[in-house]
């Protein structure tokens, strides 16, 4: 089986937001980025609560007795009302806590300032002032895509920011799993654009728009976070002479050159974010900061491969080196809206496919495996937005293939044909002993794997050849339950699934969907493996299987590909 799959963290877990300094060595998924100044937020559609500033420092009061498992500092009472309960994340400039506002009985997120003692006094003062600015900037904005700031509590002359608690994860985390399809990228872009429009109307430049500062919350809420380095009109610039703040691969060229930025600079960063969301990586990322800044100034990014039409137009327009030639916010909104809400496709004939929970059922010799090193190499550069772009129809159908798909006639020994997206590839070389009875196709990133094979009854020498599709499915499933499966399937949690009877072109068949977790100890992934079994009149057994992510944004796309592959699978008796 393939070794990739979705990350283990659930979408309902609170996520911290971090701010990287000018020279982050590599992009680090959140929470836990040591280069960031976290911000914490929660899906909440009401208008922002009025900001209340504590009038004076409040001495901490003794909290409840700590249990052995509590974080150090849990139970502390801040400003006489915010009881710290658990750490949610931390970075170079602070720690984010889940807390209970005991005055109004609600959960909030509290950002504790944390500045290294060895920093010069000026830099410490600047760090605290940035936190105050973050609170002031966010509190001035009334927009659902901006986190609500409830309070700034001053403790020992240091600002603690109290804000709404948003459950979700960052776009940066999502892109560790795979890219967004064009419609979802456009939807996220529209929400970020709305937050930027509200900020710009209030005289605020965000200056650090990047995936790690965009939260994907529940109920499709998108939140732009971390206004910690925002430039508020009329306020003094905190940047030291000769330096800059922000993430190099997302910084506009005019800022690199030290020119006065404007709203177009934030829109440039939005363009880079949209490019990364669909292609998997910033087009300007290089191995070190100087090279990255040089690419921002001089490199012409490759046209986006996964974005088409209005989304490609907005990305290309926003990445113009000259801010005067970039589209304004109104034009960007028009293009993103067109990409997020394309015209409905013309109706097509749909042939129902017997419903089951998906194909699955790994065997032994025909299991497809991608080891951990292969996935590290693949990374997120080619990912599932390309997969999503294959899904032109809402349901699978036999007959005319969806646009962008290709039917492959396999060798006579295989006795079948299989349809896959046209960009799917076969291995360059088959393993030793390949006899032509099976074939594998994968999308360019390796995220989705399609495998077909035929067991010929006349070649059976052991006398235990399954007589029916159901017997074949149960034989595979029994082996799996006994632990006889590919090395990429973890023992715990145990794989889930069970064969069910179905039909293939009116004949009896069986199918199974197996949910499993990969064995990669550093980054275990959830996967689904959908397999359909069919036994022909001559007794030969046929299988088609599709392995795809089992959690995250690309589950539905993987299942849709599986349904379309199964619906267009053609078996003969050659």
Strand partners, 153: 160
The DSSP annotation for 391-424 comes to --SSS--SSSPPTTEEEEEPPTTT-EEEEEETT-
In this structure, are residues 421 and 443 in contact, taking their beta carbons and an 8 Å threshold? yes
Question: From the annotation, which residues make up the binding site?
Answer: 111
The active-site residue out of 208, 212, 488, 520 is 208
**Which token pair is 312?**
């490609």
Cross-strand pairs, 53? 152
- The position carrying tokens 């979705």 is 6
The candidate with the shortest Cα–Cα distance to 208, out of 292, 270, 147, 144, is: 270
443 is a catalytic site residue = no
Q: Angle at which helices 182-201 and 263-279 pack, to 10 degrees?
A: 160
Contact 150, 164 (CB under 8 A): yes
The 3-state DSSP class for residue 325 equals helix
Can the peptide bond before residue 493 be classed as cis, meaning omega within 30 degrees of 0? yes
Nearest CA among 64, 111, 61, 96 for reference residue 81: 61
Closest of 148, 130, 163 to residue 229, by C-alpha: 130
The H or E element spanning position 357 is none
* 219 vs 251: CA distance, rounded Å: 30
CA nearest to 158, candidates 180, 194, 125, 186 = 125
In the structure encoding, which two tokens stand for residue 207, read together? 């200056």
Cβ atoms of residues 86 and 63 within 8 Å: no
* Dist CA 227 CA 507 (whole Å): 61
The sheet with strand 106-113 has its strands ordered as 52-53, 149-155, 158-163, 106-113, 94-101, 82-91, 77-78
44, with CB counted inside 10 A (0-12, 13-18, 19+), is buried
CA distance 359 to 8: 22
> Can you spell out the DSSP letters for 61-121?
BP-SPPPTTSPTTTT-EETTTEEEEEEEEEETTEEEEEEEETTTTEEEEEEEE---TTS-H
Q: Which of 100, 98, 112 is nearest to 38 (CA)?
A: 112
Strands (E), 146-283: 149-155, 158-163, 168-170, 204-205, 214-217, 222-224, 231-232
- Bind-site residues for ATP: 111
Torsion angle defined by CA atoms of residues 142, 147, 148 and 153, in that order, rounded to the nearest 10 degrees? -130
Active site residues: 208
């Amino acid at each position: 089986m393939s070794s990739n799959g979705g990350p283990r963290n659930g979408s309902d877990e609170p996520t911290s937001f971090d701010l990287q300094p000018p020279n982050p060595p590599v992009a680090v998924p959140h929470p836990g980025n040591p280069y960031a100044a976290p911000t914490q937020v929660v899906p909440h559609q009401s208008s922002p609560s009025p900001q209340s500033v504590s009038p004076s420092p409040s001495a901490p009061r003794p909290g409840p007795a700590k249990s052995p498992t509590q974080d150090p500092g849990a139970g502390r009472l801040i400003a006489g009302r915010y009881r710290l309960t658990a750490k949610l994340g931390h970075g170079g400039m602070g720690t984010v806590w889940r807390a209970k506002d005991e005055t109004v009985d609600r959960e909030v997120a509290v950002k504790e300032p944390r500045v290294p003692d060895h920093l010069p006094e000026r830099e410490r003062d600047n760090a605290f002032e940035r936190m105050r600015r973050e609170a002031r900037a966010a509190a001035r904005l009334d927009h659902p895509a901006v986190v609500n700031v409830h309070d700034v509590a001053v403790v020992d002359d240091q600002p603690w920011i109290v804000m709404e608690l948003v459950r979700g994860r960052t776009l940066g985390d999502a892109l560790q799993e795979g890219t967004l399809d064009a419609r979802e990228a456009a939807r996220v872009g529209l929400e970020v654009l709305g937050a930027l429009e509200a900020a710009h109307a209030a005289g605020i430049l965000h200056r650090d728009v990047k995936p790690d500062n965009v939260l994907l919350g529940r109920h499709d809420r998108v939140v732009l976070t971390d206004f910690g380095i925002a430039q508020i009109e009329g306020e003094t610039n905190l940047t030291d002479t000769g330096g800059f703040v922000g993430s190099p691969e997302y910084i506009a060229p005019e800022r690199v050159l030290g020119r006065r930025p404007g709203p177009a600079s934030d829109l440039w960063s939005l363009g880079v974010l949209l490019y990364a969301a669909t292609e998997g990586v910033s087009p300007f990322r290089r191995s070190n900061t100087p090279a990255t800044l040089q690419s921002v100034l001089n490199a012409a990014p490759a046209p986006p491969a996964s974005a088409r039409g209005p989304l490609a137009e907005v990305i290309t327009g926003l990445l113009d080196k000259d801010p005067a030639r970039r589209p304004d916010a109104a034009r960007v909104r028009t293009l993103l809206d067109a990409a997020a809400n394309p015209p409905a496709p013309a109706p097509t004939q749909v042939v129902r496919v017997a419903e089951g929970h998906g194909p699955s059922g790994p065997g032994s010799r025909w299991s497809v495996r991608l080891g951990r090193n292969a996935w590290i190499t693949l990374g997120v550069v080619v990912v599932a937005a390309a997969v999503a772009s294959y899904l032109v129809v809402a349901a699978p159908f036999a007959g005319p293939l969806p646009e962008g798909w290709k039917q492959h006639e396999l060798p006579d020994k295989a006795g079948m044909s299989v349809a896959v997206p046209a960009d799917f590839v076969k291995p360059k070389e088959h393993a030793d002993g390949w006899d032509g009875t099976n074939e594998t196709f994968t999308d360019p990133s390796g995220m989705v794997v399609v495998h077909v094979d035929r067991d010929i009854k006349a070649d059976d020498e052991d006398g235990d050849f399954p007589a029916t599709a159901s017997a074949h499915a149960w034989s595979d499933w029994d082996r799996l339950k006994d632990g006889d499966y590919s090395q990429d399937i973890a023992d715990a949690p145990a794989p889930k699934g069970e064969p069910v009877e179905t039909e293939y072109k009116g004949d009896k068949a069986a199918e199974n969907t197996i949910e499993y977790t990969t064995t990669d100890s550093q980054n275990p992934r959830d996967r689904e493996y959908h397999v359909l079994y069919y036994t022909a009149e001559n007794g030969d057994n046929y299988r088609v299987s599709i392995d795809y992510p089992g959690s995250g944004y690309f589950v539905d796309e993987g299942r849709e590909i599986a349904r379309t592959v199964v619906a267009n699978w053609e078996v003969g008796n050659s």
